[in-house]
Structure 1
Amino acid sequence: MRYIVVGAGAVGGTIGARLYQGGHEVLLVARGAHYAALKRDGLRLVTSESAETLDIPAADGPVPTRDDDVLILATKSQDTIAALAPWPSDLPVVCAQNGVANERMVLRRFDRVYGMCVWLPAQIPQPGVIAAGGHPYSGMLHVGRYPQGVDDLGEQIVTDLGKHGLVARRSPDVMRWKYGKLIGNLANAAEALVGHAPGLSDLAERARAEARTVLDQAGIAYSTPAEEAEVRGHKVDMRPIEGVERGGGSSWQSLARSSGSIEADYLNGEIVLLGRLHGVPTPVNEVLRREANRAAADKLPPGSMSPETLAALIDGRSAA
């Protein structure tokens, strides 16, 4: 079986690297300077304990496919449709992404879709280099068939992922874990907007509390922080990597790269959508979604807004 990682950035590149180290055939699909560095020099995987250059094949777009190919989609949610458009729809797709909308979008075109709940701290300090901060394992991955269950291929994917440097679990209720992860990811927009200033944790908890109210009203099950901590145990602790400064999460990194887009529509925006469907006000996540999109469009750097300004915008929307 060959694993084709579509979007071999920090998360996708780490998963691809660990699969390769486990003895599996891997192809990394990337763009721009990152692709050029992968093609020229290989992938440099750096952890708190080691640094290794891996000669993994790389491409900057679709390649001729085989019957035994599995696509691992690790792009941001806003890029899902475009990233998969050139690939044959008879291939299985594993959505290694934040948010809960991707699997349903992909299922419109692809018959075999798998959800993956990803806890994997990583970043790209420079093109071709991935710094994976998880210790002693780089990440914890829950995998299940969408919308539910685990089939033979899902079992094989879990086995392959768990061979080197990753913890993988079969999860018939994978979307419950992804909704729990969604609640945690609602802080991403706030972190991107205000940085790590005092007041961030209060803003994050307001967004999460609002989300729990919405999900409960909608009757959607989600994993709890206590459950998640128990499952992870001490398997994916964060360790500093010498010479690599960790700035922030995925949304923070989007603003730092001036990418022009951000994932807020599929994180905070998911709560806004559910709130509108079920008649629950969502002023906190509505403002976070709006302001994160504005910052991305204007190519503002991370931390460009004060927590007081953001809180005032939320309070104003709540009052309205």
Structure 2
Amino acid sequence: MRYIIIGAGAVGGVIGGRLFESGHEVVLVARGAHLAALRAEGLELTTPEGTRRLPVPAVGGPDEVELGPEDVLLLAAKTQHAEALLAEWAARPVAGGGTAGEVLPVVTAQNGVEGERLALRRFRRVYGMCVWLPATFLEPGRVSAAGAPVSGFLHVGRYPAGCDQTAERICADLEASVFRAVATEEVMAWKYGKLLGNVGNALEAVSGPAVTEPQLTLFRRLVAEYEAALAAAGLAYKSAAEQQAERGDLITLRPLPGIERGGGSSWQSLSRGTGTIEADYLSGEAVLLGRLHGVPTPLNEALQRLAGEFARTGRAAGSLTEAELDELLEL
């Protein structure tokens, strides 16, 4: 199986780099300065074992790759970029007959649950991946992962439900690549459960890590709104306690020399000035479910809107003022 990593940023870069190190054929898909750096010098991967430069092939899009029937497309781009990428790759012909959308598996290694819905519009074989992988995009061509003794905990399963040999083969390859990977029929319960923490991504992005009592209060309220919406929708999810029980102490974050780990994915988007943020698919998922099932989610709605404003205007990550924080507490 060859892995084509569409979106070789923090998560995609680490997964692709680890698979490449373990002997698998990998192609990284990137753009701009990141693509130029990957082509010129390879991928620089820093983990607790050290820093190394990996000569992983990199391309800018599907026109540069001849797809084969054993390829696996792994989508690790942010959800706001997913629809255009899925359409572009699904239409590509595969050697032996058919298009990628008709014959190849696509794995959605993204936060939230919208990526699977978008993928199923274009691909017959969709696999969700629940990603717990503390990774950072440092600069073009450089990524890091601070977890040890494994880099991340990954659940993989068919979407909308089920598990098969492809999911098991993917997990076996990941297990051999310094990950804990589990093939499961409940991948979406894991992904809905991970959103319990991810609804706080917008809060972290605009106000910094939740360490003060007002921030912690807001985080608890975000989670409570989301849990109420999930209950009204009748959606199964893994509780925070269930997630922690399975993960246990499997992954410990280790300091990486010369590298200061930043915040989560939304924080990193603001810090890099990308102009977009995932809040529409994280806090926004709670808002969507709430509106569909008559559950008020005012705090998730406010933070979805606020994070979007930060991204569009280029406001610095973590720059929310105390007065603005107090306004949120009054909702």
Do they superpose with TM above 0.5? yes
Q: How many residues align?
A: 316
| 2: CA distance, partners of 1:35 / 1:210 | 40
Matches within 5 A, 1:149-298: 149-196=162-209, 198=212, 199-298=214-313
Deviations 1:221-264 (A, max 9, x none): 11111111121122222111111111210000010011111000
2:130·2:190 contact (CA, 8 Å) conserved in 1? Answer: yes
1:142·1:170 contact (CA, 8 Å) conserved in 2? Answer: yes
1:283·1:314 contact (CA, 8 Å) conserved in 2? Answer: no
Residue matched to 1:112: 125
**What is the identity, as a one-letter code, of the residue corresponding to 2:191?**
K
1:134·1:236 contact (CA, 8 Å) conserved in 2? Answer: yes
Matches within 5 A, 1:299-314: 299-313=314-328
Residue matched to 2:148: 135
1:200·1:307 contact (CA, 8 Å) conserved in 2? Answer: no
Q: 139, 150, 158: which one pairs with 1:126? A: 139
Shift of 1:314: 5.2
2:86·2:122 contact (CA, 8 Å) conserved in 1? Answer: no
Three-state SS of the structure 1 residue aligned to 2:113 is coil
Matches within 5 A, 1:18-37: 18-37=18-37
2:189·2:238 contact (CA, 8 Å) conserved in 1? Answer: yes
Shift of 1:105: 1.1
Three-state SS of the structure 2 residue aligned to 1:124 is strand
Structure 1 unaligned residues grouped into runs of 5+: none
Q: 73, 80, 83: which one pairs with 1:81? A: 83
**What is the identity, as a one-letter code, of the residue corresponding to 1:105?**
L
1:255·1:295 contact (CA, 8 Å) conserved in 2? Answer: yes
Deviations 1:273-298 (A, max 9, x none): 11011001100100010000011110
| 2: CA distance, partners of 1:254 / 1:200 | 20
Matches within 5 A, 1:64-75: 64-75=66-77
| 2: CA distance, partners of 1:232 / 1:143 | 15
1:203·1:311 contact (CA, 8 Å) conserved in 2? Answer: no
Shift of 1:35: 1.0
Shift of 1:49: 2.7
1:194·1:307 contact (CA, 8 Å) conserved in 2? Answer: no
| 2: CA distance, partners of 1:145 / 1:61 | 25
TM-score by length of 1: 0.96
Three-state SS of the structure 2 residue aligned to 1:108 is helix
Aligned alpha-carbon RMSD (Å): 1.2
**What is the identity, as a one-letter code, of the residue corresponding to 2:294?**
G
1:3·1:72 contact (CA, 8 Å) conserved in 2? Answer: yes
TM-score by length of 2: 0.93
1:287·1:314 contact (CA, 8 Å) conserved in 2? Answer: no
| 1: CA distance, partners of 2:304 / 2:78 | 15
| 1: CA distance, partners of 2:328 / 2:252 | 35
